[in-house]
Amino acid sequence: MEKREKSQQLYKQAQEIMPAGVNSPVRAFGAVGGDPIFIKKGKGSRIYDVDGNSYIDYVLSWGPLILGHAEKQVIAYIKQALSKGTSFGAPTEAETNIAQMIKRAFPSMEKMRLVNSGTEATMSAIRLARGFTKKDKIIKFEGCYHGHTDSLLVKAGSGAATFGIPTSTGIPYELTKNTIVLPYNDIDQVRAIIRSSHKQIAAVILEPVCGNMGVVVPKDNFLADLRQLTREYDILLIFDEVMTGFRFCFGGAQTIFKINPDITCLGKIIGGGLPIGAYGASQEIMDCVSPLGGMYQAGTLSGNPIAVACGLKTLQILQIVDYKKIITMTEALCTAIEAIARENKLDLTVNYLGSMFTLFFTNKKVFNYQDACSCNTKNYAAYFTRMLESGVYCAPSQFEANFLSFAHGKKDIEDTIQAAKNALTSKDD
Ligand code: KE4
């Protein structure tokens, strides 16, 4: 058992001043038990806690650090930007540069607006869809998480699912009565609702590949059928690609599935680890955004030069890397864990796509939130704890994704497979 005295001491202090001592619920390890470790630094594929322990990191700040921690070119580029100041509240060339870079990867985003988080991106996208269509209802899917904006915090995934509060307190019914929640991957239920209520439905929003109920991929024609249905009934299709943007390729889920949504939301990787989000659509839709149109959205630090610098350098590097590197490593890791499960007759299935994956402690394939909820979260917690003891930092919740970075190497994967074998086959409680 590593020494964790310093983390425990810091956690005690943190709990006196922040709810559960954290600034985002899932970080409190509530779903896996034990106290969170406090991080001193990150480098490459590893993080180092305040007690001197090091871990292979598969959380990567919940996805943004696809290049790994403290990538040297990114750090140098941020330092250069910092020397010119931190924020101006006025346009800068760098904002245009990153928007052009994003548009090259996401041609469906003819125009876009930079914001400060994924939540702001999806909140703005919903407002834009309602303003553009002059309709109020929104369809979302159980287990999908789109940030903590009121109207979407209904049967949400991620931390909301982790703590069994998929619908938060403090949200008046008036703010969620226009939110229709359906099971993911069930196109028949979507078709029925759209046929009956399309005149009131502004948009369908989803994670095109889910990460927030754990990784759940769309069934064969789910996305194509959604696209066809929404187009047929004048409903906007919103892809929340906050997690999937630049995760699978220099593009998004819309690139690999060849489906063009009407509005795309981004975050995480486009900021390279600094606070950022973006939403974009056709020129016709985006020209509804203030000051051109009546849909108001604003932000003191939107397009912040330092966050943009971090994101721009990250995307410049991603434009020339070979994604096969992290996709192959992910496949090697996940197939090895599946083999361990088979050989030891464990109730364990692994969902993965590109460079994100989740171990589900169940013997069935997980295609929606109900499937994910049938998992044995106690077994997940035991796995997490054993992996942490072995120096591997996994997502501290069954309802989250794990990620690889370009800083992960062969030895990281070999060590992780060995740690997983020990964690999954050890008999001690
Ligand atoms: P942020 O507001 O946290 O930047 O983005 C919200 C969001 C929107 N859409 C998707 C698909 C997301 O995954 C997220 C945020 N993801 C979670 C992790 N699953 C952030 C981690 C946390 O909440 O602590």
State residue 428's pLDDT score. Answer: 66
Residue among 26, 62, 148 whose CB has most ligand 1 atoms within 8 A, to mutate: 62
First-to-last C-alpha distance (Å) of the chain:
14
Of the pLDDT bands very low, low, confident and very high (cuts 50, 70, 90), residue 163 is: low
Of the pLDDT bands very low, low, confident and very high (cuts 50, 70, 90), residue 87 is: very high
With tokens 């020990």, the residue in question is 422
Of the pLDDT bands very low, low, confident and very high (cuts 50, 70, 90), residue 156 is: confident
- What is the 329 CA–ligand 1 centroid distance (Å)? 24
pLDDT tens digits along 219-272: 989 999 999 999 999 999 999 999 999 999 999 999 999 999 999 999 999 999
Give the residue from 264, 187, 254, 262 showing the smallest Cα distance to 226: 187
Buried b / exposed e over 276-308, threshold 16 CB at 10 Å, is bbbbbbeeebbebbeeeeebebebebbbbbbbb
Ligand 1 contact via 240 beta carbon (within 6 Å): yes
- What is the 202 CA–ligand 1 centroid distance (Å)? 23
> By alpha-carbon position, which residue is closest to atom 22 of ligand 1?
24
Percent with pLDDT over 90 in the chain:
92
pLDDT tens digits along 339-348: 999 999 999 9
Give the CATH number of domain 5-70+322-425.
Answer: 3.90.1150.10
pTM here? Answer: 0.97
pLDDT tens digits along 113-123: 999 999 999 99
Give the residue from 54, 427, 113 showing the smallest Cα distance to 265: 113
Ligand 1 contact via 140 beta carbon (within 6 Å): no
Ligand 1 contact via 117 beta carbon (within 6 Å): yes
Cα(189)–Cα(187) distance, rounded to whole angstroms? 5
* Ligand 1 atom index nearest CA of 158: 19
Q: Do domains 5-70+322-425 and 72-318 have the same CATH topology?
A: no
Cα(9)–Cα(182) distance, rounded to whole angstroms? 44
Given a cut of 70, whether residue 332 has pLDDT beyond it is yes
Cα(88)–Cα(99) distance, rounded to whole angstroms? 18
Q: Is 225 a catalytic residue?
A: no
Cα(164)–Cα(34) distance, rounded to whole angstroms? 18
Ligand 1 contact via 243 beta carbon (within 6 Å): yes
Give the residue from 423, 350, 426, 417 showing the smallest Cα distance to 387: 423
CB neighbours (10 Å) of residue 104? 13
Ligand 1 contact via 252 beta carbon (within 6 Å): no
Of the pLDDT bands very low, low, confident and very high (cuts 50, 70, 90), residue 159 is: confident
Beta carbons of 282 and 110 less than 8 angstroms apart: yes
- One DSSP character per residue, 138-175 reads EEEETT----S-GGG-SS--HHHHHTT-SS-TT--HHH
> By alpha-carbon position, which residue is closest to atom 5 of ligand 1?
118
State residue 355's pLDDT score. Answer: 98
Indicate which residue of 57, 240, 371, 412 is catalytic.
240
Q: What is the mean pLDDT of residues 406-427?
A: 96
Establish how many alpha carbons lie within 13 A of residue 352's alpha carbon, considering only the half-sphere containing its beta carbon.
Answer: 24
Ligand 1 contact via 211 beta carbon (within 6 Å): yes
Q: Helix, strand, or coil here: 348? A: coil
**Domain range list for the chain:** 5-70+322-425, 72-318
Q: Helix, strand, or coil here: 204? A: strand
State residue 166's pLDDT score. Answer: 57
State residue 429's pLDDT score. Answer: 56
Q: What is the mean pLDDT of residues 16-39?
A: 96
State residue 162's pLDDT score. Answer: 64
Ligand 1 contact via 400 beta carbon (within 6 Å): yes
State residue 164's pLDDT score. Answer: 53
With tokens 């001592």, the residue in question is 21
pLDDT tens digits along 125-151: 999 999 999 999 999 999 999 999 999
State residue 426's pLDDT score. Answer: 86
Given a cut of 60, whether residue 416 has pLDDT beyond it is yes
Q: Which DSSP state fits 211?
A: -
State residue 180's pLDDT score. Answer: 94
Given a cut of 80, whether residue 385 has pLDDT beyond it is yes
Ligand 1 contact via 166 beta carbon (within 6 Å): no
Indicate which residue of 55, 58, 77, 145 is catalytic.
145
Mean pLDDT across the chain: 96
- What is the 146 CA–ligand 1 centroid distance (Å)? 7
Given a cut of 70, whether residue 36 has pLDDT beyond it is yes
Percent with pLDDT over 70 in the chain:
97
* Ligand 1 atom index nearest CA of 267: 4
Q: Is 268 a catalytic residue?
A: yes
State residue 165's pLDDT score. Answer: 59
Cα(290)–Cα(288) distance, rounded to whole angstroms? 7
Residue among 268, 276, 301 whose CB has most ligand 1 atoms within 8 A, to mutate: 268
pLDDT tens digits along 270-288: 999 999 999 999 999 999 9
Q: Is 233 a catalytic residue?
A: no
Of the pLDDT bands very low, low, confident and very high (cuts 50, 70, 90), residue 410 is: very high
Give the CATH number of domain 72-318.
Answer: 3.40.640.10
Q: What is the mean pLDDT of residues 375-387?
A: 97
